[in-house]
Every structure is written in structure tokens, then in C-alpha cells.
Amino acid sequence: MTVTVATDEYGKGGVRIVKVVSDGIGDQVMDLTVEVRLRGRFADAYTGGDNSMVLPTDTMRNTVYAMAPEHLGPDIETYAVTLARHFLASPAPVDEAEVSIVQRPWARVGDRPHAFRQVDTGRRTTTVVAGQDGVAVSAGALGLRVLRTTGSAFEGFLVDGLTTLEPARDRLLSTEISAQWRYTTNPADLGATWHDVVQRLVEVFCDHDSKSVQHTLYAMGEAVLAQHPEIDHIWMSLPNKHHVPFDVARFGIAGGESVYYPFEVPHGVIEATIAR
């Protein structure tokens, strides 16, 4: 029997780095987790144990730190592009270098320029893939918790012998938005564009007359593409974080329609890519 290495990639994940960047008014904390992945002609390392063309993952970690003083500024996309291009130009037989970054957000405390608190949700992300045909830049948001108490329905769904869910003309809707979008051309201000996309996502979630989570997801993606011609598609995940009304009437207590039992799992999984 003859077997072969059909696909392979390797890299370094979970590289934590913090850099303090001055913006002229005060400091900005860049708190990042970086992952590097290389794809190329590394089959000999698997089949014969030949490491002569394998760049150590330890070197990848060192590179993340070594390039930060000069190249890590307020935009994680620019830093990721620099790293990806560096690894693509490595002496290793790299056909494609991918760099993904998740940023933990910190906000200034009041008007203090040097004191911060960590923001709980809405981490900024980027994924850059550098290959022989060019560089593709994607940006995104991870774990943005949002909730609306009204204006969301779910009716007219398929019913079978095991369906117990009751139709809801108006319900509480909570989700944790994760999104990733790809630029066809990089905007002049990456940071401003990221903030504007996130604002559009949140505004549409809050204001849309929702017939389902799917219905609102589509409206959110449509709004982003209408506002930003430099984005060719946006992928979103909107898990339905269920809140079940808790029946306090059984205890002889009124007002139970405003009391909910929230639970994280199981939850509905709703994902889609909205493209031009």
C-alpha cells in the first residue's frame, strides 16, 4: 500500500503579546493573541523525518515579538500583513502564510490617559493570507454580546411529531455576534472601517423587525455590504442564547412575563455568508 501526505500545515498558536502604543492623547493597549500557519512543501518532514526545510515554530513566536516594535500599531490588519509577508519570504518552502490575530479590547477609564479597564465583549480579529497570487485581508469581530427585549418573532416553522416549541410573536432575543468580512481593497482607515462595520451590525440587530434570527442575520449583512463597497462578503454566526420565561404564576405571583431563565447550552446555531 502506498500512502501520501495529502495536505499539511503547521505553525504557532496562542502567542500572547502586549504593546503600549501612544496616540498623542494617551496610551493605547494592544493586547493580542497571534497564530501563524504555514502551508507548502513540507511532506519530507512527515514521511522521512527531514527537518532541513522546517522553520521552527519557536522562531515564529520570536518573530511575532521581534517585528512588534516597528510594525505593531493601532491596526492589527497592518501588523498581520507584515508578518504574513515575512513568513512567505522565508527560506522555507512556503506557498501560503496565514496570520490570525484576536485583540482583547481595553478602554481608558474616564479621561485618564494611562489607566484602562478590559472590555468584556467584541474582540477585534483579522486573518491575513499571503500567497504567490497576493495578500487577502479579512477583518472581524468575535463574541459581541447583544440583547433586545422585544421586536423579535419566530412563527410558522416546520412542526413534526417531536416539536414542542410554541410560536412566539414577540420574544426576547439574545446572541453573541461573531463576524468576519473580506476586503477587496483595503480601506484608508482600517480602524474606522472596523468600528463602522460593528456599529452597523449592532444597529441593525437592535432595529430590525425580526421574523427569525436568520432574517435578522441577512439584514445585518445586507446593511454592511451596502455601506462598504470594499467588502465583498461577510460571514456571521449568531447563536441563539435562549431566555425561557419562568412561570412564577404557579406560586401565585403576578408579573412573571418579565422574568426569564437564561441558559448557555444548548443553543441554536445560525450561521451564513452574505455576499455580493
Please, which residues have CB within 8 angstroms of residue 120's CB and are 6 or more apart in sequence?
145
| Amino acid of residue 105 | P
Q: Could you give the number of structural domains in the chain?
A: 2
Enter the DSSP assignment of 210.
B
- Cell triple for residue 84? 504574513
pLDDT in tens, the chain (276 residues): 889 999 999 999 999 999 999 877 889 899 999 999 999 999 999 999 999 999 999 999 999 999 999 999 999 999 999 999 999 999 999 999 999 999 999 998 998 888 999 887 789 999 999 999 999 999 999 999 999 999 999 999 999 999 999 999 999 999 999 999 999 999 999 999 999 999 999 999 999 999 999 999 999 999 999 999 999 999 999 999 999 888 888 888 887 778 888 988 899 999 999 999
Q: Which residues of 103-138 are buried (b: 16+ CB within 10 A; e: fewer)?
A: beebebeeeeeeebeeeeebbbbbbbbbeeeeebbb
Q: Which of 104, 129, 154 is the last residue of a domain?
A: 129
Q: Which parts of the chain are beta strand (E)?
A: 10-22, 27-40, 94-104, 106-108, 116-118, 123-131, 134-154, 168-183, 231-237, 243-245, 260-262, 271-275
Q: Helix, strand, coil proportions of the chain in percent (round to 5)?
A: 25, 40, 35
Copy the grid coordinates of residue 58: 519557536
Q: Which of 86, 208, 241, 242 is catalytic?
A: 242
pLDDT value, residue 26: 87
Q: Which of 12, 86, 208, 241 is catalytic?
A: 12
In a domain? residue 88: yes
Question: Do 244 and 147 sit in the same domain of this protein?
Answer: yes
Tell me what pLDDT residue 1 has: 87
- Does 184 lie in the same domain as 74? no
* Interhelix angle 190-207/213-227, nearest 10 degrees: 140
Distance CA 155, CA 242 (A): 16
Q: Identify the sign of the CA torsion 53, 58, 61, 67.
A: negative
115 and 159 inside one domain: no
Active site residue 19: no
Q: Does residue 232 lie within any of the structural domains?
A: yes
Q: Are residues 172 and 267 in the same domain?
A: yes
Q: Say if residue 152 is in the same domain as residue 267.
A: yes
From 129, 163, 188, the end of a domain falls on 129
In three-state secondary structure terms, 219 is helix
Q: Are residues 93 and 158 located together in one domain of the fold?
A: no
Chain Cα centroid distance, residue 171: 27
Kindly state whether residue 5 falls inside one of the protein's structural domains. Answer: no
* Catalytic-labelled residue, pool 33, 57, 59, 82: 57
Do 39 and 105 sit in the same domain of this protein?
yes
SS3 call for 77:
helix
Q: The domain containing residue 79 runs over which residues? A: 10-129
Distance from C-alpha of 239 to C-alpha of 181, rounded to nearest angstrom: 18
CATH number of domain containing 216? 3.10.270.10
Residue 90's nearest CA partner among 54, 136, 127, 133 is: 54
Considering the domain boundaries, does residue 137 fall inside one?
Answer: no
Could you tell me if 28 and 75 lie in one domain?
A: yes
**154 and 124 inside one domain:** no
Instruction: Give CA–CA dist 233/225, Å, rounded.
Output: 7
Please check whether residue 134 is in contact with residue 97, taking contact to mean a CB–CB distance below 8 angstroms: no
Active site residue 12: yes
- Catalytic site includes residue 57: yes
